[in-house]
Amino acid sequence: MLNRILQIFMIASISIGLLLAFLTVLDFTENVCADCWPFENLIAYSYILTGILVLSALAGAGIGIMKKPESLKMMLVGIVGTILLFGISYGMASSEITPNLAALGGDLSEGTVKMADTGLIAMYIMMFLSIAAVLFSSIMKIVRR
């Protein structure tokens, strides 16, 4: 029953998102226009879905902990690892506003540049670790045969 409800919710969410995306970029004469539908509607819908996702993830984690309390230890290891990853990334990030960034214009601050660099460095580290994990597991599978 729960799977069916989740499937209906997923289909409805995707349908609403696609409808809002099309209303954002097309007017009713099928011409592309920038001001046909307020872009903020699509952003607000994204915020709503993000909120639902966060609440669902927290609820799922809470239910998992209630069913199997020893899983809390592994969850804490994951949380500490993520905090450590972002701490290392933040330490490696630069807050320098280069001439290329300044030429883009906009309201750039050193804090904004530092957080963007932090996110990029964290993504690069996670990408490297995931590729290394795939290679390691493939090599171990070959060695075990």
Confidence tier at 18 by pLDDT (50, 70, 90): confident
Please name the residues in contact with 49: beta carbons below 8 A apart, sequence gap of 6 or more.
13, 17
Confidence (pLDDT) at 69: 84
Tell the residue number behind the tokens 């927290």, with chain if given.
58
Determine the Cα–Cα distance for residues 121 and 93; give it in Å rounded to an integer: 7
Average pLDDT over residues 35-59: 76
CB atoms within 10 A of CB 118: 20
Q: Is residue 63 over pLDDT 80?
A: yes
User: Which tops the pLDDT comparison, 51 or 38?
Assistant: 51
CB atoms within 10 A of CB 109: 10
- The reported pTM is 0.58
What is the chain's mean pLDDT, rounded? 83
For the chain, percent of residues with pLDDT exceeding 90 = 30
Q: Is residue 135 over pLDDT 90?
A: yes
Long-range contacts of 124-133 (CB under 8 A, 24+ apart): 125/85, 125/88, 125/89, 126/85
109 phi, psi to nearest 5 deg? -120, 165
Q: Is residue 35 over pLDDT 60?
A: no
Domain boundaries, the chain: 1-68, 70-145
* Biggest distance spanned by C-alpha atoms of the chain: 63
